[in-house]
A and B are shown apart, each in its own frame.
Chain A
Amino acid sequence: DAKTTQPNSMESNEEEPVHLPCNHSTISGTDYIHWYRQLPSQGPEYVIHGLTSNVNNRMASLAIAEDRKSSTLILHRATLRDAAVYYCILRPYNNNDMRFGAGTRLTVKP
């Protein structure tokens, strides 16, 4: 299974942009890059996903490197409610499961 590597923790100030990195050097051509986040005592919540091109939605932006070996989740203006564990996951196009790692714990300071 393709693996991802994320920093254990990051800090941000409120209303500043946050760039959460993820390395996936063994990604295959058919792996989608998914991001989820988990608030305390809740189930994970889908954030965004992409294949090759950068993606934007109402929650975040996903920047994917040209060689696809890394990606960055961008929160444009962090709020206190964005404090969570963020998971970067690779999903083969025909696979049912997602392998969650330890993720990055984001702390947002007021």
Chain B
Amino acid sequence: SQTIHQWPATLVQPVGSPLSLECTVEGTSNPNLYWYRQAAGRGLQLLFYSVGIGQISSEVPQNLSASRPQDRQFILSSKKLLLSDSGFYLCAWSVLAGKYEQFFGPGTRLTVL
């Protein structure tokens, strides 16, 4: 069966510090991978998605970036965190686009102070 892992589960970082969140998927090949952010009390916002190694599409311009160095690994990074980067970051995968469901990881709660 497929599983998706995210770490760390929680993170507290000072403003201006770098960020690296990691997501890995097991049990499937060539998945579509996604990064979402959820601000407190809000819906999810799609940040990035990837259909293959090295292929990243950005949905919202910001100080975050994403990379996919391996088929089942998706990394979210920032060189300098802002207060507004605080939120709940979720990684998800799907087989294909459109009608297929997305499966979400447990999330990382990031607090920027």
Determine whether the beta carbon of A87 is less than 8 Å from that of B32.
Answer: no
Determine whether the beta carbon of B98 is less than 8 Å from that of A93.
Answer: yes
B contact face: mostly helix, strand, loop, or mixed: strand
Docked Cα-Cα span, A94 to B100, in Å, equals 10
Determine whether the beta carbon of A97 is less than 8 Å from that of B34.
Answer: yes
Q: Is B83 an interface residue (CB 8 A)?
A: no
Please, how many residues of chain A have a CB less than 8 angstroms from a CB on the other chain? 24
Report A42-90 residues with CB < 8 Å from chain B CB: 42-46, 49, 51, 87
Q: Is A98 an interface residue (CB 8 A)?
A: yes
Select one of A45, A49, A87 contacting B99, CB under 8 A.
A49
Closest 10 CB pairs of A and B: A43-B104, A100-B44, A93-B98, A46-B101, A100-B43, A32-B99, A96-B97, A97-B46, A43-B90, A102-B43
